[in-house]
């Protein structure tokens, strides 16, 4: 009995470290904003309203954002929780800018851009890359995440447009893999890229523009 219990414990330990064989499972990831821990809020004009619209998903494979390859073979596919990568990115952009001090909201369906009371700046764009992949081996799992989005900000006041390409990446090795590891790493990669938007732009007279 003692010997059999030892075998069971050893088996559970093995599964905890390497993970069981994947059988085509699908894991939905909930992406979220991850601003720098020491980041201070940006001071912006209180009368400037910014909205973020759903991004176009320009990826060739829109059904997934990556996968975990199990040590014993097989894989678990990663998707965003709502199946719409462009909307997931827009939500992260909104939350990130809000946490950094912007007056910003996620655009509602049919929202327009109007100088008289409507949003002064409308941000949208295109998702070029959004991926997180994990590979499990004996005793560890390597995770890599990357993002590349094209951001387009339209100013209602004069119709001018600011375009930027934002890139982010992150990697990590964990002993025991958890779905939240992939979720957090891709969120961090996407959030890292958004810092460039804050650093290289400014809002003046309700118009978003690149800093000189």
User: CATH assignment of 2-210?
Assistant: 3.40.50
Tens-digit pLDDT string for the chain (212 aa): 444 444 434 444 444 444 444 567 899 999 999 988 887 788 777 788 899 999 999 999 999 999 999 988 889 999 998 899 999 999 999 999 999 989 899 997 555 555 456 789 999 999 999 999 999 998 999 999 999 999 999 999 999 999 999 999 999 999 999 999 999 999 999 999 999 999 999 999 999 999 98
Read off φ and ψ for residue 18, nearest 5 degrees.
-105, -25
Would you list the DSSP string of 151-196? EEEEETTT--EEEEEEEEEEEEEESS--HHHHHHHHHHHHHHHHHH
> What pTM does this model have?
0.85
């Amino acid at each position: 009995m003692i010997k059999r219990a030892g075998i069971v414990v050893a088996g559970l330990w093995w599964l905890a470290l390497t993970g069981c064989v994947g059988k085509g499972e699908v894991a939905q990831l909930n992406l979220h904003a991850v601003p720098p821990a020491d980041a201070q809020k940006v001071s912006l004009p209180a009368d400037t309203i910014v909205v973020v619209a759903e991004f176009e998903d320009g990826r060739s494979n829109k059904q997934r954002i990556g996968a975990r390859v199990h040590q014993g073979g097989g894989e678990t596919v990663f998707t965003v929780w709502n199946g719409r990568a462009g909307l997931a990115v827009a939500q992260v952009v909104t939350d990130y800018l809000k946490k950094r001090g912007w007056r910003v909201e996620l655009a509602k369906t049919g929202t327009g851009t109007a100088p008289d009371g409507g949003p002064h700046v409308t941000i949208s764009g295109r998702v070029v890359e959004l991926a997180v992949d994990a590979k499990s081996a004996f005793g560890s799992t390597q995770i890599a995440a990357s993002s590349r989005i094209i951001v387009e900000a339209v100013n209602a006041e004069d119709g001018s447009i600011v375009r930027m390409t934002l890139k982010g990446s992150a990697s990590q090795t964990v002993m025991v893999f958890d779905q939240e590891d992939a979720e957090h790493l891709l969120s961090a990669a996407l959030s890292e890229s958004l810092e460039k938007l804050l650093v290289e732009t400014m809002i003046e007279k309700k118009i978003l523009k690149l800093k000189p």
